[in-house]
A and B are shown apart, each in its own frame.
Chain A
Amino acid sequence: MDSGAGESSAADDYESLMSTTDAELLKTAWRNEKAAPEILNFAADLVQRSRQQIQLMEEMVDDYINDGVDPLTVSLYQIDLDRTMFLLRSYLRTRLQKIEKYVFHIQKTAEEWNRLSKQEQKFASRFAGDIKNHLDQSVLSRLPDQYQSHLRQSAASEEDDMVPEPQLDSYVVCRSKKYLGTYQLDDGGEELINIEVDDMYALPYKAIKPLVESGQVDLV
């Protein structure tokens, strides 16, 4: 759909072969997004497909109402529709919250910037601009020159030390989908765990980040 989430499509294809329904995939994407400390790759293809399905289903429900199909059946389709829409909305909203929180960090990190969809990038740029203006007008412009940056404490700071960053070493709870065997958690090779099907672990996010990205473990 857009360049931003191009990388995710290969994983998406693989995923859709492996798993049953898009609803299931959307649920996983939603759960991972909610539990991960940083923003994850935008599931472009999945969102696209889910949107189409929702639209189809909405048209179908309208047709059913017009055709006088049994109201019970219609209401059941409506529940299914509502559930899927909730997932999609909550997924997108969770991402927006993360973008708002880490906007300056995401903006200056090309890799994370590319995880956003086109629309999200647009939102992030506007949001960052608004926040900067707001801070400038309300406080920063009245401070002495060396304290006017919205990214740094003072001109003396060597790096952007007022930019909130996601804590990649924060702990997450994850569950494995399949047997992964021995997995090395840290660079030193001292921490090894044996991951079996359905095992649940609390461990630092960054240790299993690749597994989350490749869809081998789910965050719960």
Chain B
Amino acid sequence: MASASDPHASAFSAAELEFLAEDETIEIVPNLKMDALNFISGDFGPFRPQIPAQAPLWLAVALKKRGKCTIRAPEWMSVVNLTQVLEAERDSDKFQPLPFHYVEISRLLIDHARDDIPDIYMVRSLVEDIKDVRFHKIGKGLESISAGGTFALKLKNLSAMEANIVRPFVTRALETFYKLGSSDMIQETDHAPNRQQTADRGPRRQLKDR
């Protein structure tokens, strides 16, 4: 759908990706007593003071905002691990395995649970650096798409947001290669102007309106 009439549209908005990321579970340490919660999205709790428990990110953030828990930053968000990832990311052409929603999760935690993340400034700049290195790699990777008829492009370890950002460009580029390589190219170009007209009906009608 995105490709047919609205070439610059990504399938998901940033807010929608954040929405998806908010369902990832994270460890919290509650400071209140609360019975088990039986949500549509699953059962969580019961929560007891100082006893670590698993909760989806949105629940953790909601509790955190009300001062009812501390959030334990996930293992991969430690300075040690992020430093390693950044180095490996710089040294290799491959993408390092990170959580699918690493950008959104780190962003949410940095925004809402700053006092729960050790070395938050370090963590933030490391995440930023990793993001930059990865985007640079994506950019370089795109240059090599054309080499040898690419039918399917493997995006190993790419995160949700990264995939979403390159989607409009990559899918259209691949589509074009695909069409150039296929035999019904002539037919395709024949159809294109017609579609244009169909899509334009709306505005034109306004001109004719009396």
Contact = CB atoms under 8 A, between A and B. Distances in A.
Nearest to B177: A171
B59 to A, nearest CB: 7
Interface residues of A, number: 58
Nearest to B172: A171
B62 A202 contact: no
A81 B151 contact: no
Interface stretch (B76-84, B110-118, B128-136, B196-204): B196-204
Given A79-B62, A171-B3, A162 B153 contact: no
A11 interface: no
Given A79-B62, A186-B151, A191-B152, A171 B175 contact: yes
A200 B154 contact: yes
Q: How large is the interface on B (under 10, 10 to 19, 20 to 34, 35 or more residues)?
A: 35 or more
A35 B20 CA distance: 14
A185 B66 CA distance: 51
A214 B182 CA distance: 27
Contacts of B23: 27
A21 B170 contact: no
B61 to A, nearest CB: 10
A118 interface: no
Contacts of B62: 75-76, 79
Interface string A91-125: 00000001001000000000000000000000000
Contacts of A72: 34, 66, 68
Given A139-B208, A202-B153, A166 B1 contact: yes
Interface string B75-104: 000000000000000000000000000000
Contact of A37 (B3, B158, B208): B3
B37 interface: yes
A203 interface: yes
A218 to B, nearest CB: 11
A22 B170 contact: no
Nearest to A194: B154
A77 B44 CA distance: 11
A75 B22 CA distance: 17
Contact of A83 (B3, B41, B152, B154): B41
B195 interface: yes
Contact of B155 (A24, A34, A79, A201): A201
B191 A201 contact: no
A23 interface: yes
Interface string A129-143: 000001100110000
Interface string B1-30: 111110000011000000110110000000
16 contacts: A72-B34, A77-B39, A79-B58, A80-B40, A83-B19, A83-B22, A138-B209, A162-B197, A171-B3, A171-B171, A173-B167, A173-B171, A193-B152, A199-B156, A202-B155, A203-B151
Interface of B: 1-5, 11-12, 19-20, 22-23, 34-35, 37, 39-42, 58-59, 62-63, 66, 68, 151-158, 160, 163, 167, 170-172, 174-175, 178-179, 191, 194-195, 197-199, 201, 204-205, 208-209
Given A161-B191, A169-B179, A200-B157, 5 more contacts: A22-B40, A23-B41, A76-B63, A79-B62, A207-B152
Interface of A: 20-24, 27, 31, 34-37, 50, 53-54, 57, 70, 72-73, 75-77, 79-81, 83-84, 86, 98, 101, 134-135, 138-139, 153, 161-164, 166-167, 169-173, 185-186, 191, 193, 199-204, 207, 219-220
Q: Which 5 A-B pairs have the closest CB atoms?
A: A171-B171, A203-B152, A23-B41, A80-B39, A170-B3
